[in-house]
Amino acid sequence: WTESAGFTESRVDGSHRSTAGAPVTRALSIVVPCYNEEECLRQLHARVTAAARKAVDENYELVLVDDGSKDATWPMIAELARTDPRVVAVRLSRNHGHQIALSAGLDICRGDLVFVVDADLQDPPELLGPMIETLRANQADVVYGKRSVRKGETKMKRATAKLFYRLLASISDGVDIPLDSGDFRLLTRRALDVLRSMPESSRFIRGMVAWVGFKQVPFEYEREERWAGNTKYPIAKMLRLAADALTGFSIAPLRLASYAGIALSLVAILLVVYALVGWLAGEAVEGWTSLMIVVLVMGSVQMFVLGVIGEYVGRLYNQAKQRPLYIVSEIAGSVAGTEEFDPIRRRN
């Protein structure tokens, strides 16, 4: 796998930002964002360890990122780091959200290959071996999990997810974001380095990985039920992720606004002609109904368009603030080489 590491240096360094990353010293990193996952951690550690040993023997690290959990997740992760030299425990200063926690893990990891898994074991870590084989057989840079079946998720979640991925695919500008895949994937270092060079603060990582390009191949699997606990993605977080995805990968909503504007202007012209003809014919005044309709329709469309613009302006504002993406409060475990890591990730 060294040839791909060599490639990384020459290809990617030019576009690299100043964010200090850790040097590549492992064959494999497994990165897991964890938010209130105390019930899953032990099982996760056991299964990931077995899968990683099988694939690369001892030459791996397991990066567990605690995303400001309120339960015993951090003490458990810190304990794992004390007892298992392969574990790197990272604690964020508060709950920054799944995509940001994952970004922190990806920044600090030192592997030549990177495997991203959820803490709840919905995406079986045992697929690591087969996914590495697929990566090598196809000489690919990304192998992404594609959910053929989703177990243990509500009809509502499955239906909205299905609809969402299709909507996103149909309007995303120039990037083919794969259908029905989450962040469960395997990346090479050079793909990761490109991903890490992307400075946006509203992050939809599965889309950003698609944007990176290189050869990306799907890996079909059945998504299991959560091992324990409840989803850490309530509807509000899901909607935010969806909005980040749509605004991050498409300006179609803005265009939609202008199309709506054009269509409504045409209708308005017809209405003006109608009103003038009525006035000339001396049949004016009544028109309260039509007036109300026009006012209501125009008002609501304008509100909608303003809302769409607001979505983008809000993101521009967030980006303009240049706040650090996350703040790490503690790192524990086998941390040699991570000294270069900037615990406050600064953008640009």
Q: Which residues bind ligand UDP (CB under 6 A)?
A: 33-35, 37, 67, 95, 97-98, 101, 118-120, 122, 231-233
**Residue 147 pairs with which residues in a beta bridge?**
221
d(CA 160, CA 156): 6
Q: How far is the CB of 331 from ligand UDP (least distance, A)?
A: 16
Assigned token pair, 44: 């996760």
Which residues make up the interface to Mg ion (CB under 5 A)? 118, 120, 122
* Sequence letter at residue 272: V
Q: Which does 95 bind (CB under 5 to 8 A by kind): Mg ion, ligand UDP, none?
A: ligand UDP
Q: Which is nearer to ligand UDP, 239 or 298 (CB)?
A: 239
Q: Which is nearer to ligand UDP, 242 or 254 (CB)?
A: 242
d(CA 76, CA 66): 10
Q: Which does 39 bind (CB under 5 to 8 A by kind): Mg ion, ligand UDP, none?
A: none
Q: Which is nearer to ligand UDP, 252 or 332 (CB)?
A: 332
Q: Which is nearer to ligand UDP, 98 or 185 (CB)?
A: 98
Q: How far is the CB of 162 from ligand UDP (least distance, A)?
A: 14
d(CA 137, CA 148): 22
Q: Which does 203 bind (CB under 5 to 8 A by kind): Mg ion, ligand UDP, none?
A: none
Q: How far is the CB of 153 from ligand UDP (least distance, A)?
A: 7
Q: How far is the CB of 35 from ligand UDP (least distance, A)?
A: 3
Q: Which does 91 bind (CB under 5 to 8 A by kind): ligand UDP, Mg ion, none?
A: none
Q: How far is the CB of 59 from ligand UDP (least distance, A)?
A: 24
What backbone phi and psi angles, to 5 degrees, belong to 61?
A: -140, 150
The three-state secondary structure class of 61 is strand
Cβ–Cβ under 8 Å, residues 38 and 73:
yes
Q: CA 143 → CA 91, 188, 295, distances in Å? A: 28, 9, 52
Of the candidates 178, 251, 250, the one whose C-alpha atom is nearest the C-alpha of residue 213 is 178
Q: Which does 34 bind (CB under 5 to 8 A by kind): Mg ion, ligand UDP, none?
A: ligand UDP
d(CA 181, CA 239): 17
55-65 b/e (C-beta count within 10 Å ≥ 16 → b): bbeeebbbbbb
Q: Which is nearer to Mg ion, 100 or 328 (CB)?
A: 100
Q: How far is the CB of 105 from ligand UDP (least distance, A)?
A: 9
Q: Which does 127 bind (CB under 5 to 8 A by kind): ligand UDP, Mg ion, none?
A: none
Cβ–Cβ under 8 Å, residues 249 and 204:
yes
Q: Which is nearer to Mg ion, 120 or 180 (CB)?
A: 120
Q: How far is the CB of 118 from ligand UDP (least distance, A)?
A: 4
**Max Cα distance, the chain (Å):** 91
d(CA 72, CA 52): 25
Cβ–Cβ under 8 Å, residues 212 and 142:
yes
- DSSP annotation of 215 reads -
Q: Which is nearer to ligand UDP, 116 or 305 (CB)?
A: 116
Q: Which is nearer to ligand UDP, 27 or 205 (CB)?
A: 205
Q: Which does 233 bind (CB under 5 to 8 A by kind): ligand UDP, Mg ion, none?
A: ligand UDP
